Amino acid sequence: MPLKSHFSETPTIECGCDEVGRGCLAGPVCAAAVIFPYDYTNDEINDSKQLTAAKREHLRDIIERDAVAFFVAEVSEKEIDKINILHASIKCMNDAIGQLSVKPEFLLIDGNKFTDRWNIPYKCVVKGDATYLSIAAASILAKTYRDNLMVQLDAEYPMYDWKQNKGYPSPKHIAAVHQYGLSPYHRKSFHLKNQLSLDL
């Protein structure tokens, strides 16, 4: 079933935004913002978690070609440790939105928590990446960008197997942390309860 193209029934510059990497032990959190032409449709685009890596790479080229504007931002593991992962995710989405070459009139945000620093109306949508085309496209850009980054970091620290687990807590990743300790790219505060708190 094709994803919804718009939230508004009237022509509006809508921007979809999603983040990836929130549940990782290592590496940054990344977020993408995507604006499509109002009449844009694409039946191939879907929630990035439902697609193979090869399909995501294929669609990334199409999204970047067809989008009116897009941007991928990242917030480092060091900043995540300072402000917690939820604040970092929201900051990352705001950073991506702020770098767009076209200013959106409405934001579609994946998830249930967001604070806007650009004074743009927004709607939070749980499972938005499986509902709206622009959010799904943002999920694909954020996922491919971050996956490629973790493969590059794997060349520095191959013992953690980041080329496979992309920084998520796989058994091999956890075993390597126990054996070798933490790398400079690991989030030192991930175990803290305040990583799941958000002061809004």
The pLDDT mean for the chain works out to 93
- 194 pLDDT higher than 90: no
Percent of the chain with pLDDT over 70: 94
pLDDT tens per residue across span 73-124: 999 999 999 999 999 999 999 999 999 999 999 999 999 999 999 999 999 9
Residue listed under structure tokens 């013992």: 159
- 152 pLDDT higher than 50: yes
pLDDT band at residue 200 using 50, 70 and 90 as cut-offs: very low
10-22 mean pLDDT: 96
Q: Which of 4, 5, 8, 3 is nearest to 106 (CA)?
A: 8
Q: Output the CA torsion sign for 101, 107, 113, 114.
A: positive
- Surface-to-core class of residue 57, CB atoms within 10 Å of its CB (0-12 exposed, 13-18 middle, 19+ buried): middle
State both tokens at 55: 């399909």
* Chain mean position to CA 162: 17
For residue 118, the 8-state DSSP code is S
